[in-house]
Amino acid sequence: MIRTRSGRTDVSVGRGLLDRVGRLPSVREASGIAVVLDRSTDGLFRERIERSARDARPFARASFPPGETSKSLATAQALLENLARTRLDRQAVVVAVGGGVVTDLAGFVASSYLRGVPWVAVPTTLLAMIDAAIGGKTGVNLRAGKNLAGTFHPPRAVVVDLDVLRTLPKRDRAGGFAEMAKIALAADPPLFDALERLGARALACEPKDLLPLVRAAIERKARLVERDERDVGARLALNLGHTTGHALEAATRYGRFHHGEAVAIGLRVACECAVARGSLRPAVRDRVAALLGALSLPSAWPGDLRPEDVLPFALSDKKAVGGTLRLVLPLRVGRAELKESSLEELVRAAHAARAPRL
């Protein structure tokens, strides 16, 4: 459970939970239901969710093409129009079934429709389970950058069914481990040690073996969210790797890197920046690079991209204040802090990150 000023989020983590979504109080007691999916999760999970939740109440269903390009104001408007046509009222619930794009977008729509209706997150990727669905951040991308329009609107419930990860491609599973590595490096040394011990074997873990790792990552993020719901203090540590990662995604028009891959590169750049400052031991940087490589994630800056062309997108980062770039930098395993920086420093760190360290 996560308790913040905005309310309570009940988090269920386990196996075989997908068919129980309709029994959740926030779904069972709703006046109507809107199920939001992308076209990948629509084919995999829609019928199970509908069997669980649908009855005589008003019911809307909406899906859209998968991927970051759908996380837009245009898609949000189409979803809002769908809810309005169905005449859902303020006691209705939005059920988001999918990865981080789906939960971010559906949560944003729920926060906007009739000035806010409840919603439930049913994350179906590892990344969404441990990060995107936890904490109440919703949003869409703008041309200038990622997640520049959004709200804080926590879901009433999050249902994490690890069995759905059996359908997840290896690339997407690796991307989820990038976010887990970020949480571990920023705030959880035992989780970092556990990931190091697993190494490449993590990518082939059965759901039962992933359960303790997923629970640990969710618990760590949940406690930071409770301390800092609005992302102005302790929770900022979880932005580690994201200033560079979001810039990479925006510069390549969300078509080249999955989010976790961009975050992995961002972690490496943040480590190089901290090492150059003398605030992080090179041995820790090398451990991070080795872990990313073991998890089939990028562990160096892409050789075909000029940092000078990519990193100006970081100036649109939400953490920037008065035109001053601010970066979350690791100080040791388990601790990261927000520091003032500059575009020039970030570019130097990206150049230093070109060399693999495995």
- List, for residues 271-285, the tens digit of each pLDDT value: 999 999 999 999 999
- List, for residues 306-340, the tens digit of each pLDDT value: 999 999 999 988 787 777 899 999 999 999 999 99
Q: What pLDDT is attached to residue 243?
A: 96
CA neighbor of 155 nearest in space, from 129, 134, 131: 134
Q: What pLDDT is attached to residue 47?
A: 93
- List, for residues 2-12, the tens digit of each pLDDT value: 988 888 999 99
Under the banding of pLDDT at 50, 70 and 90, the label for residue 355 is confident
3-state DSSP call for residue 341? coil
| Contact between residue 272 and residue 354 where contact means Cβ atoms under 8 Å apart | no
Q: What pLDDT is attached to residue 191?
A: 98
Q: Where do the CATH 1.20.1090.10 domains begin and end in the chain?
A: 170-352
Mean pLDDT of 54-79: 94
CA neighbor of 95 nearest in space, from 36, 24, 13: 36
Using CB atoms within 10 Å of the CB of residue 42, give its burial: 0 to 12 exposed, 13 to 18 middle, 19+ buried: buried
DSSP 340: E
Mean pLDDT of 78-99: 97
Mean pLDDT of 16-39: 95
Mean pLDDT of 204-211: 92
Mean pLDDT of 218-229: 96
Mean pLDDT of 49-66: 91
The CATH number of 170-352 is 1.20.1090.10
- List, for residues 150-171, the tens digit of each pLDDT value: 999 999 999 999 999 999 999 9
DSSP 253: T
For 73, the enclosing helix (H) or strand (E) is helix 73-85
Quickly count: other Cβ atoms within 10 Å of residue 226's Cβ: 16
Q: What pLDDT is attached to residue 248?
A: 97
The top-level CATH class assigned to 2-167 is: alpha beta
pLDDT value at 357 more than 70: no
Contacts with 140 (C-beta within 8 Å, 6 or more apart), sequence order: 71, 72, 73, 75, 76, 104, 105, 108, 147, 149, 150
| Contact between residue 280 and residue 330 where contact means Cβ atoms under 8 Å apart | yes
**Average pLDDT along the chain:** 95
Q: Where do the CATH 3.40.50.1970 domains begin and end in the chain?
A: 2-167
3-state DSSP call for residue 17? coil
- 302 dihedral zone (left: phi>0; alpha: psi -120 to 50; beta): beta
pLDDT value at 358 more than 60: no
